[in-house]
Amino acid sequence: MTGGPHDSMRQRPKAGTAGSTAQRTAQAKAPKRGSPKGRRVDPQALKEVLALLGNEPRRPDLLIEHLHKIQDAYGHLSAAHLAALAQEMRLAMAEVYEVASFYHHFDIVKEGEQAPPSLTVRVCDSLSCEMAGAKDLLRKLPGLLGKDVRVIAAPCIGRCESAPAVVVGQNAMLEATLETVARDVLVRLTKCSEPKYINYAAYRGAGGYKLIADCLSGKHTRDAITAVMEHSGLRGLGGAGFSAGRKWRLVAAEPEPRNMAVNIDEGEPGTFKDRYYLERDPHRFLEGMLLAAWAAGVGEIWIYLRDEYAGCRAVLERELAKLRKDPPCALPPIHLRRGAGAYICGEESAMIESIEGKRGMPRLRPPYVAQVGLFGYPTLEHNMETVYWVREILEKGAEWFASQGRHGRKGLRSFSVSGRVNKPGVHLAPAGITVRELIAEYCGGMKDGHEFYAYLPGGASGGILPALLGDVPLDFDTLQPHGSFIGSAAVVILSQQDKASDAARNLMRFFREESCGQCTPCRVGTAKALALMEAPQWNQPLLKELSAAMMDASICGLGQAAPNPALSVMKFFPQEVV
What is the CATH code of the structural domain delimited by 119-186? 3.40.30.10
Cα angle for residues 372, 375, 379 (degrees, 5° grid): 45
Domain spans of the chain, in order of start = 19-109, 119-186, 200-396, 412-498, 501-576
| Whether 355 contacts 304, CB under 8 Å | yes
pLDDT in single tens digits along all 578 residues of the chain: 333 333 333 333 333 334 455 555 555 555 555 555 556 899 999 999 999 999 999 999 999 999 999 999 999 999 999 999 999 999 999 999 999 999 999 999 999 999 999 899 999 999 999 999 999 999 999 999 999 999 999 999 999 999 999 999 999 999 999 999 999 898 877 777 778 999 999 999 999 999 999 999 999 999 999 999 999 999 999 988 899 999 999 999 999 999 999 999 999 999 999 999 999 999 999 999 999 999 999 999 999 999 999 999 999 999 999 999 999 999 999 999 999 999 999 999 999 999 999 999 999 999 999 999 999 999 999 999 999 999 999 999 999 999 999 999 999 999 999 999 999 999 999 999 999 999 999 999 999 999 999 999 999 999 999 999 999 999 999 999 999 999 999 999 999 999 999 999 999 999 999 999 999 999 999 999 999 999 999 999 999 999 999 999 999 999 999 999 999 999 999 999 98
State the fold for domain 200-396.
Rossmann fold (3.40.50)
Of 82, 77, 127, 80, nearest in space to 107 by CA: 77
Range 542-548, long-range pairs (CB < 8 A, 24+ positions): 543/570, 544/570
Q: How far apart are CA 67 and CA 105, in angstroms?
A: 10
Range list of H helices, 5-114: 21-29, 43-53, 63-74, 79-89, 93-102
Q: What is residue 34's DSSP assignment?
A: S
Q: Give the domain 19-109 fold.
A: Arc Repressor Mutant, subunit A (1.10.10)
What pLDDT score was predicted for residue 283? 98
Q: What is the pTM of this model?
A: 0.92
Q: Where are the beta strands (DSSP E) in 192-293?
A: 259-264
How far is CA 575 from its chain centroid? 35
List Cα–Cα distances, 186 to 61, 133, 193, 200, 348, in angstroms. Answer: 38, 22, 17, 36, 40
Given CATH 1.20.1440.230, say whether it is the number of domain 501-576: yes
Distance (Å, rounded) from C-alpha 424 to C-alpha 468? Answer: 22
Q: Does domain 412-498 have CATH number 1.20.120.430?
A: no
